[in-house]
Structure formats: structure tokens, C-alpha cells
Structure 1
């Protein structure tokens, strides 16, 4: 199984990079992991709806260029379905059991995801109704994927 996480924007702060590195190391025991960062569009104050849509479309083109045709795609969306950790583990395991060997998780930028990315999604996943910085969301997602593998393997995890 290969898991790809595509994010808009780069991690800049050292503490986020350290947290990501820790979970990448831990996940290495369970799966092949690829982290892809695509460039974000500059977000200016007072952007019109049209400007926001143009920015999202440009980011979408970069994202979709990295998504493999055979990948099962999870998009992280506020309006998506909320799962607990065990349900996420079961969802990932189900995909593995039916032969989906490539899973891709997509985290959008500050303006969200363009409709073309949402249309490519196989599963809209929500971690909360709240909005999180994409840097933090990347760490949370990695932690939950790691926790999912621990659950699938019947290993101890913090409840």
C-alpha cells in the first residue's frame, strides 16, 4: 500500500516539520508514504470571489497533476463526513482489502479546494466543523493515519 498526502503550501515552521518527520518515521513501519507540497497562490486581502476562484483553480491544476489515476482520493473538507479513529482505520482497511493499493489524501490551501478537486474525490473527510491551518492539519492527518495502522494491526493506541 502507498499513501500520498498532497498539501497546498509548504511547511515553514520548524516545529511542524519536526512533527511531520516524526510521523513519517513511524508510518514507515506500515506503509510507503509520499508527501507532496504544491505551490499555493498568494492570498491578498480584499480578493474578490472571482480572484479566489481563479486561485483555487490554479492550485487544483497543480494538485490534480499529482493524483494517480488508480488512486482512491480522500479530500479533507469541513462539510465532509466525520469519522472516529476506528472508523477511519476500517475505511482504509476496506480499501486495502478490495485492492486499492494507492490512497491519496488532499489538504487544500487557505481558500479551500476547487470544484475540480472535489469532483475527483472518492471520499470527503472532515476532521471537524472548525477550520485549521493546513500545516496543523497535515500533522493531525499523519497522526490519524498512523493511529489507523496501529488499530488495523491490533496494536495499542491512546484512546
Structure 2
């Protein structure tokens, strides 16, 4: 079964599912485990608040053929690595085990993301408020490393990069 949803329709499915199967929270409320609504496919998300404004998402999901049409929106700094599976955003980005994603803050253009059926997606995703990038990765003089500056520029474009993992050298 193939599904094509708007972000709003997907959010409504999640909200309804949480009524029947609420997320599990740790006693300190820093960790939450979400079960993905059955309509979307078998999956879970484990979200850990590492620091205020810094969250680690661990996911294991096997969607049906799912297409989500997103609107233009504010975007946090994001680092995403998938160990398996694929997310295809057409001309924006392809994320898979061979190609990760680094996205800057600012406005992300509207895009459509397709997740193919029966491809387990396992990986991690980090979302960070832009000022934390400077706080965590500043030089001794307090400046953000030049390589990271495109992620927090003050223009309206969301910059993204698609680094490929380095090959391991065999000895």
C-alpha cells in the first residue's frame, strides 16, 4: 500500500496514534520512545535530549511506500546518518548508507520526501539550535570554525551538504 501525505496529515496520524499508544518517557523526562503509527509501518524513534536545544534521534523504521509533501519551514541545524535504507527528496537530497546529510538552520524550502517500501531505515539524527553550534564548536577566540559557518548564516536559504563516509583502509 502506497501513501502520499502532507506534513499536516502525517502529524494528525501521529497525534491520533499517540492517543492509543502514548510515548514512553524515562523517569528524568530526557528520553522518549515513540512507536510509529501502524498505518505508516513498523518502526520506533528513540529521542534523547542531550542538552537543552540538542536532541539525538535514533530510529528504526520500515515504512510502506511513503511520500510526505512538506511545506517551507524553519529548520534547525541537522546531522543525519543512515546505516540502512533510503530517503529520496528528489533534487534536494538522497540520504542512504553511502551518503549522509548535514543541514543548516534557516528556512528549508518545501520538498517531497519518498521512503520506499520494505527498506529498513536505521540511523541517527541530531537536531541542534543554531547558537549551540557556535557554543560547542567555537575556536579559542570564540569564532565558529570556517567550515561550519555556512550552517548558521543569516540569509533565508537552508544550506545542506551531503558528505560521503570515508572508506576504511585495509591493512
Query: TM-score, normalised to structure 2's length?
Result: 0.27
Higher strand share: 2
Higher helix share: 1
Greater length-normalized contact order (CA 8 Å, ≥ 6 residues apart): 1
Query: TM-score, normalised to structure 1's length?
Result: 0.28
